[in-house]
Chains A and B, each alone.
Chain A
Amino acid sequence: MASDSFKRETVRALIAALVIVVAGGILYPLVMTGVGQVVFPHEVNGSQITVGGKVIGSELIGQSFQTPVYKHGKLVENEGVVETTPDPRYFQSRPSATEGGEYNAAASTFSNLGPNSVATKEAISKHIKAYIKLNRPYYPGLRPSNVPVDAANSSASGLDPEISVANARIQAHRVAALRHLALGRVLALIPTYTSSRFLGFSGEEGVNVLELNLALDRMQGGLASGR
C-alpha cells in the first residue's frame, strides 16, 4: 500500500476537480434543460398565463392588485413613486415583505420578524387594520379576532400565490358588491381555484388569487383586457 507521490496525487486532484465541473456543472444542467424544454415546456418556463397574446403573470407567483391613487384628477407621487392602494374589485393577496410590499418577483424575501418583537406586533396590527378597513363595509362584524392569520402575516417567499379559503370567503362579500355580482356566484368560483391537500392530508388548501381574479374578469367580459 505504498501511497503515490504528492505531485502525482495533486495532479489527480486537479483533474478530478475539473472533470466534476464539466460533468456536474455543465453537462447535467444542459441535459436537464433540454429534457425540460421538450417534455414540460409550460412548467419549466414559469407556468405563464397568457391573455390575448400577452403574458399577464405566472400561475405560481402572486401579484399585488393595486390601483394608482388620484387626487384632483392627478396621480399622487411620493418621492418619485406613484402611490397605490388596493383595488377593491379584486381579491387581495397576502401581505408581502418584498420591496414596497409589491410582490417584487425579482427579489424574493421574508420579513424576518421575530415572535416576541414589538416590530412584529406593529406590522401585524397594520395588516389587520388595512384588511378591516377594506372589508368591514361589506362584511359587518369583522374584528381583529376573526381576521384569518394569512391575511395578517406576511408570507415566506413574499410571492405567495395563495390565500386561505376563509380569507377568500370574507373578501368575496366586497368583490361581489363592487362588481354587482350575486355573492353566491363569487363564492361558487372559489373552490375551482382552490388547491387541495396532497393525498388529502399534506399541506393546506389555498386559493390562487390571480387565477380567481382572472376568472372574475373573464366572467364580466374583462376588466383586464380593458387596460
Chain B
Amino acid sequence: MTFAGWATIVVFILALTALAFPLGSYLAKVYTGQRVWLTPIVGPVERVVYRIVGVDSRREQDWKAYARSLLLFSLFGWLILYFILRTQTLWSWTGLNPEGFHSAPWNVTFNTVSSFLTNTNWQYYSGETTMSYFSQMAGLTVQNFASAAVGIVVAVALVRGIIGRSGSGIGNFWHDMTRTLLYVLVPISIVGAIVLMSQGVLQNFSHYLTVHTLTGATQTIAMGPIASQEAIKELGTNGGGFLNTNSAHPFENPNQFTNLFEILLVLVIPAALVFMYGRMTGNRRQGYAIYATMAIMFLGACAVAYIAEAHGSPAQHAAGLHTGVISGSGGGNMEGKEQRFGIAGSAIFDVVTTVTSCGAVNSAIESFTGIGGAVPFANLSASEVIFGGVGTGLYSILLYVLLAVFIGGLMVGRTPEWLGKKLEAREIKLAGLGILITPLAALFCTALATATNAGTQSISKAAAGGPQGFSETFYAYLSQANNNGSAFAGYSGFVQPTAGNVGSHGLTFTDLLGGFDMLFARYAPILFALAVAGALAGKRITPAGLGTMRTDNPTFVVLLIGVIVLVGALTFFPALLLGPIVQGLTGHLYK
C-alpha cells in the first residue's frame, strides 16, 4: 500500500461530492419543470419530441399508467434490439460491419438483449469478435441510454410519490424520459465522449488495423466507434464493454486520468440524485443523511479491497513472489491488472462499478484475492444501494429507508412516520417485497445452476475444483439479478471457436436462466417501487411532532446502515461463506 493509493480514494470521494452537489440541484430543477441553462438550446428539441411521440407532457399519470408506459416502452426496446442483433449481416450495406461478423445464436442473443435492456450489460459474448459496429451503435448504445433513463425516472416518480400532497399522480413517464435524455444523459455523454477521444479512446468505422511489429510479426488491432458508447456506458451505470476486456482495454481506458474520469462519470448521477432527493423533499438534510450512509459504506469497501489486493494472493506467495512495494513497482496482486492503474486504481474502479449497477471492470475480478473478491460480492449483496445504479440506487435505498423507519418506529413504539406521512401495512409490504425479490432471484438461480449438470458446465475448467467454481456461479446470478453485469468471467454461456460467430453456439440453460434472472429482478422491483409511490402519493401530510423519529440525523444513518447490512448479511452470508470467504481465510491452493 502507498500513500498515493490512499490519496486516490480520498480525493476521489471529495471530487465526486463537489460535482454531484451542483448536479443535484440541476436535476431537481429538471424534474420540477423549471428553466435551466440548457433550456434555450434543448427546449425546442423537447417540444419536437413531444409532437412526434404524441405526448401531452402536462398530463399526470397514476402509478399504474406510469408503469404501463414503462413496460410498453421496454417491450418495444427489447424487440427492436433482438431484431437488430439477429439480423447483423443484413446491415452490412451500411459499411458498419467491416469484419463481416454473423449474428450470435438465439440463446446468447436472448441473454444479451435482456441484459442491455435491464441496464445489466452482462456479456457472454466478446465485443470485438462478435458485434458489428452497427449492432454496437444502433443496438447496444441505444439501450445504454434507454435503460439508464428508465432507472432514473422510476426514482423520480418515487420521490414525487413521497412528497406528493394530493391526488395520485406521480408524473408523466414520457415527459420524464424525454427530459432525462435531453437535459441529462445526452449532454453529459457528449462532453464525456469528447474528453475520452482526446485521451485516445477510439471513434472510427475503420477495418481492424493490421500493423507490422518491430520484430516483423503482424498484429491485428480491433477498431470501432468506442468513445460514444464508452461515455454513456459509464454515465448510465451500464458497464457493457465495447471490447472484451472492458475498461481494462487501453482503447476504452487509456491512462491514469481516464481511469478516474470514468469512475466519476459512473457515480456522478447516482450521487447527484441523492442531493436532488433532499432538495425535492424541501429538507436538504434528508439527502445528506442518505449520502453519508452511502459514502461510509463506499469508503469501507474501498479500504478492504485495497488492503486485500495490496497484500497479494496465496498463489503468488506459493510461487515465491514478493508482493510488497519496492522501488519502481507497487507490488500486490497484479494478476489480471493493468500496470497503469496499479492496485489502488484497480481496487477503487471495481468498487465503484460494483456498488453501482455499472459492472464495468478495469481488472479481472475473478483474479482478485478471496477477500478482495468478497468486496464486490458484499456490494452486490447490499442490493446496489451504496450509490447504486442511476435511479435504481435511489429508489432501492428509499425502500430501505422506509423499512428502517418502520423498524425504528417499532423500537420506540409509535406509528412510523416518514416526512409527515404515516406508514401503513400496504407500503411496508410493498417495500419488503421490493427489497427481497432481488436476493430471492439471485439465490434461486444460483441453487438451480449449482445443482444441475446443465448449470455446472458453465464453470471454467481452471476453477472446476475448489470454491472458485461456486464463486463463479454465485457471482453470475447475483450480478445478473442486481443488474450489475460484472463477472467472474470464467463462467461462460457461449462457445465461439472463431471470430465472427461461424460455428458458435450458446449454452441454452445458462443463457436463459441468466436472462430471466435479469428481467425478473429488474421489472419486479420497479413495479414495487412505483406501487409504493402510488400508495404514498395520496397521503395527507401531518406536521412533525415530538414523537416523530427524525430521518436526517446521524442516529438514523447508523440505523439505516444497520438495516442494509442486516438484510444483506442474513440473506447472503451462508452462500458467501462457501465461496470467497473460504478462499480469503485459507492459503490453500485448489486443483
Contacts and interface: CB of A to CB of B under 8 A. Distances in A.
Contacts of A158: 245
Contacts of B467: 116
Contacts of B552: none
A120 B169 CA distance: 57
A143 B319 CA distance: 11
A195 B205 CA distance: 29
Nearest to B583: A116
B328 A120 contact: no
A188 interface: no
A192 interface: no
Interface string A147-170: 111101111111111111111110
B485 interface: no
A124 B312 CA distance: 13
A200 B4 contact: yes
B146 A149 contact: no
Nearest to B80: A17
The main secondary structure of chain A at its interface with chain B is: mixed
Contacts of B227: 32, 36, 44
A174 interface: no
Contact of B169 (A1, A10, A35, A110): A1
Interface in A22-51: 24-26, 28-29, 32-33, 35-37, 39-40, 43-48
A14 B83 CA distance: 14
Contact of A121 (B213, B318, B361): B318
Interface residues of B, number: 150
Interface string B130-168: 000000011101101110000000000000000000011
A57 B211 contact: yes
A176 to B, nearest CB: 17
Given A154-B335, A154-B336, A201 B217 contact: no
B544 to A, nearest CB: 30
Contacts of B362: 156
Contact of B340 (A148, A206, A227): A206
A220 interface: no
Contacts of B60: 1
B283 interface: no
Nearest to A3: B65
B521 to A, nearest CB: 22
B407 interface: no
Given A44-B203, A107-B499, A10 B198 contact: no
Given A1-B60, A20-B146, A166-B326, A204 B335 contact: no
B341 A203 contact: yes
B353 interface: no
B333 to A, nearest CB: 7
Given A169-B328, A204-B341, A152 B319 contact: yes
B260 A198 contact: yes
Contact of A57 (B145, B193, B214, B251): B214
B369 A106 contact: no
Interface in B57-107: 59-62, 64-65, 68-69, 72-73, 75-77, 80
Interface string B247-259: 0111100111101
B2 to A, nearest CB: 9
B197 A106 contact: no
B197 A198 contact: no
B219 A29 contact: no
Interface in B295-349: 312-316, 318-323, 326-346
A121 B142 CA distance: 42
A6 to B, nearest CB: 8
Given A1-B169, A33-B205, A117-B466, A28 B141 contact: yes
Given A115-B333, A124-B319, A17 B214 contact: no
Given A112-B463, A156-B245, A201-B7, 14 more contacts: A6-B68, A12-B72, A32-B194, A32-B197, A46-B251, A61-B219, A112-B366, A115-B313, A117-B591, A120-B315, A125-B319, A160-B338, A168-B328, A227-B215
